[in-house]
């Protein structure tokens, strides 16, 4: 599954719901959280347009973790509907384990 595309869509949606500045604050929190286990992530610069976040330096698993943190933190800030929407989107696009159950 391409979490990079999912993440970009989610960032664009976040901006529409809470604006650019609040989206940047959410991203700063996510970068901080991820940097606790991988200090190199702490050096990521958040652009003026958060939807243009450069994900090229991230490994696939880091992008996946970023997406789920956006769902968690965005859900806390925006509302539970936002979290559910992002989780459903990931599930629809194939986030299932080998037994066919959702990994979410």
Distance, CA of 70 to CA of 34 (rounded, Å): 11
Domain ranges of the chain: 3-92
Q: Which residues contact 85 (CB under 8 A, 6 or more apart)?
A: 13
- Which pLDDT score, from 0 to 100, does residue 13 have? 96
pTM: 0.85
Helices 3-35 and 60-78: crossing angle, nearest 10°? 80
- Which pLDDT score, from 0 to 100, does residue 99 have? 46
Q: What is the 3-state secondary structure (H, E, C) of the chain?
A: CCHHHHHHHHHHHHHHHHHHHHHHHHHHHHHHHHHCCCHHHHHCCCCCCHHHCCCCCCCHHHHHHHHHHHHHHHHHHHCHHHHHHHHHHHHHCCCECCCCCECC
Tens of pLDDT, residue by residue over 60-102, are 999 999 999 999 999 999 999 999 999 999 999 875 544 454 4
Tens of pLDDT, residue by residue over 10-59, are 999 999 999 999 999 999 999 999 999 989 888 889 999 998 999 888 89
């Amino acid at each position: 599954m391409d979490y990079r595309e999912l993440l970009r869509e989610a960032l664009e949606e976040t901006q529409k719901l809470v604006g650019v500045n609040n989206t940047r604050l959410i991203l700063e929190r996510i970068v901080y959280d991820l940097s606790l286990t991988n200090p190199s992530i702490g050096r990521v610069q958040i652009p003026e347009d958060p939807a243009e976040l450069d994900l090229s330096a991230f490994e696939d698993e880091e992008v996946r973790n970023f997406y789920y943190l956006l769902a968690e933190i965005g859900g806390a800030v925006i509302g539970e509907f936002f979290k559910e929407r992002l989780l459903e989107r990931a599930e629809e696009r194939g986030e299932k384990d080998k037994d066919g159950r959702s990994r979410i």
